Each structure stands twice: as C-alpha cells, then as structure tokens.
C-alpha cells in the first residue's frame, strides 16, 4: 500500500520484534526504508527471525519490564509498535509473569511514549478479550469477556492505552489480532499456534491432534495482512484513540483447517481427537472488520487456503527452522 511509504526514513521501535508477528513487521518496515529498533528479551523470539547486520536495524536485548531501557529506546523513536508479550500458553502457566510483562511492560512503554512525545504507539491486542461472544460476528463495541489471564492482561493494556489517550493526549491505536498464522511461525517453537503444529505433524506423516471435537471455530488471519493493518494504524490520523479488529470475517472450524492442511501438504494423515486444554474455552470466533475497512481502507488480501499454501512453501524452503522471509 502506497500509504506505508511514509515510513521511509522514519525511526520505528518494534517491541517483541524478534517474535513471529514482530519480525514480519520489522522486515516490512526495512523493505520500505525505515530505520528499526527491535527490543526483545528472546523468550520466544529468535535472532534468525531478523536480518542481523542490516544497516538500518538495531537489535537491543532486554525486556519491556526494564523501564530505563524502554525509556532509552523509545526516546530514539518516532513511532512505536508494541508487540512484546507473554503468549496465552505461557500466561496460563505463570500468571504473575503475564502480569509483569503484559501489563507492567505495556505501562512502561506508554509512560516512555508520553514522556518522549512519540508520534504514535500501536498496541497489539487479541480477540481473546471477547471470550465466548453473545453474537457473531464480533464488533469492537461488544462486551469483553475475559476467560484467561492472557485475555485479562491484553485488555488491561488496551485500557491503559485508552486512559493515556484520554488523560494525557498520548497518540495510541489498538489492533485486536485474531489467530494469526503464516511465514515465520516456527514449528520448533513450543508456544506456536495450531497452524504450525498441524503442518509439523502433517509433514512428518503423523496424525493431527485436535483438542475437543474440532467444531470450534476461529478467524485465521495471515500474518502479512496483519502487518499491513498494524502499520496503517500507526500512520492514519483516523486511528488515533481507536480500537480495530484485525481478522478476515471468515469462520473456519479446526476440522476444516486440518483438512485444508492435509490437502496442501498432500500427506493423508489421520485426525486424532484428544481432550481439550484449559485454553480451548472459546467455541466460536469470527470478527466484524467493517470499522477498519471504513477508517483505514484495509481488507485482508489472503484467503485461508492461499495463506496455508504460502506458509507451506516457506516451511519447505526454510526447513521450518529459519525465517527467511
């Protein structure tokens, strides 16, 4: 999109920039011509997700829980994309760490952004804040219904963004991601999502393990579409103080996903139904994306089948080990 060319020669901080979504954002920014600082503690992120040595990339190893460090890297930036977080699996195992990173870390970033007068901070939130919705598709104004420590902390971050915008005039925008998958989602990461796990099993000729009956649905969103939406939210004046669903508006069951991955890989593996996990407490998910379409002129460009084929191509080329994106 032509609008993203405005990032050329900007200085952008991406927290969590060595992670799955973060590294895609970093590479997109570098391709546009931005200078990028990555702040990452490498809890789940990997150095080889990044083009180390790129002349416009600076990688800082550290945590968003370190306020002095956050202040330093924010001060050197014009725009901040805040992707750093403990994911849902880690959060379930250690709620206190979830609190310290997802809530405390976000507050640190906001305080530093306010102090430095940064042009815009985009906060990566999650559709998990909706829980089991009363109505489908889910609108941004629908009630939150947090069912996990992770969803509590992501919603707390959203509320801090709103409070800083309303109280101090800090320019923030919130993007609620829905089940992001795609290039650089590494199967060797024990915290990766269902798409990467299914691909890993299918390629190995092993059964796909489905938690529950497989009829639960999700709105799977390709990472390149998520990247575009996030960066548009960082630029558009209309996005200031706003919250946007970032999804496809298409509801797919886990059974459908499994069948598509079997078709894409060409390996006729079995489906193995196992007990559902504590995190598998959402029955249906599909989001309304009319607001972001109207405000930011963003619509997803990659269908689920297309995204899965592109993901499989990357896995074949990279061996599932390095994010050669």
Confidence (pLDDT) at 49: 95
Q: Is the dihedral of CA 60, 63, 66, 67 positive or negative?
A: positive
Q: Is the dihedral of CA 117, 122, 124, 129 positive or negative?
A: positive
Backbone angles phi, psi at 245, to 5 degrees: -70, 135
Distance in angstroms (rounded) separating the CA atoms of residues 286 and 131: 11
The Cα-based distances of 52 to 27, 38, 46, 197, 240 in angstroms read 11, 11, 11, 27, 32
Per-residue buried b or exposed e for 178-193, using 16+ beta carbons within 10 Å of the residue's own CB: bbbbbbbbbbebeebb
Confidence (pLDDT) at 2: 54
Distance in angstroms (rounded) separating the CA atoms of residues 316 and 271: 22
Count Cβ atoms below 10 Å from residue 58 Cβ, excluding itself. Answer: 15
Mark the ranges of the chain whose per-residue pLDDT is less than 50.
320-325
The Cα-based distances of 232 to 54, 76, 280, 298 in angstroms read 24, 21, 31, 8
Report DSSP state, residue 276: P
Predicted TM-score of the model (pTM): 0.95
Confidence (pLDDT) at 325: 37
- Which residue carries 């407490």 as its tokens? 281
Confidence (pLDDT) at 278: 66
Distance in angstroms (rounded) separating the CA atoms of residues 188 and 208: 16
Which tokens go with 50? Answer: 């990044």
CA 263 to chain centre: 26
Confidence (pLDDT) at 142: 96
Confidence (pLDDT) at 321: 47
Asked if 232 and 300 count as a contact pair (C-beta separation under 8 A), the reply is: no
Confidence (pLDDT) at 103: 98
- Surface-to-core class of residue 316, CB atoms within 10 Å of its CB (0-12 exposed, 13-18 middle, 19+ buried): exposed
Distance in angstroms (rounded) separating the CA atoms of residues 177 and 128: 9
For the chain, domains (ranges, CATH) are 2-181+222-247+288-301 (3.40.50.720)
Confidence (pLDDT) at 320: 42
The Cα-based distances of 22 to 88, 148, 236, 260 in angstroms read 16, 23, 20, 26
Coil, helix or strand at residue 180: strand
Instruction: State the catalytic residues.
Output: 150
């Amino acid at each position: 999109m032509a609008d993203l060319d405005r990032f050329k020669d900007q200085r952008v901080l991406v927290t969590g920039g060595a992670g799955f979504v973060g590294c895609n954002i970093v590479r997109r920014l570098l391709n546009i011509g931005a200078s990028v600082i990555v702040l990452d503690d490498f809890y789940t992120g990997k150095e080889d997700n990044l083009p180390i040595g790129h002349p416009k990339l600076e990688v800082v190893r550290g945590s968003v829980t370190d306020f002095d460090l956050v202040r330093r890297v924010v001060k050197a930036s014009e725009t901040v994309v805040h992707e750093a977080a403990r994911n849902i699996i880690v959060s379930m195992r250690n709620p206190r760490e979830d609190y310290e990173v997802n809530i405390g870390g976000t507050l640190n970033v906001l305080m530093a952004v306010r102090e430095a007068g940064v042009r815009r901070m985009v906060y990566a939130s999650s559709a998990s804040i909706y829980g089991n919705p009363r109505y489908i598709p889910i609108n941004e104004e629908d009630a939150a219904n947090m069912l996990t420590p992770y969803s509590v902390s992501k919603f707390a971050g959203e509320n801090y963004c709103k409070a800083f915008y309303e109280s101090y005039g800090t320019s923030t925008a919130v993007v609620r991601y829905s089940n992001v998958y795609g290039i650089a989602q590494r199967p060797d990461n024990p915290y990766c999502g269902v798409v990467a796990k299914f691909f890993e099993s299918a390629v190995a000729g092993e059964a796909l393990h489905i938690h529950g009956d497989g009829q639960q649905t999700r709105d799977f969103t390709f990472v390149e579409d998520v990247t575009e939406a996030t960066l548009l939210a960082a630029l558009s004046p209309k996005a200031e103080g706003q919250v946007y669903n970032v999804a496809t508006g298409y509801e797919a069951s886990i059974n459908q996903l499994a069948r598509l991955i079997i078709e894409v890989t060409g390996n006729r593996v079995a489906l193995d139904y196992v007990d559902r996990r504590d995190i598998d407490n959402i029955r249906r998910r599909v989001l309304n994306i009319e607001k972001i379409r109207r405000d930011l002129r963003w619509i997803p460009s990659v269908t689920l089948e297309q995204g899965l084929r592109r993901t499989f191509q990357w896995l074949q080329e990279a061996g599932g080990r390095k994010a050669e994106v």
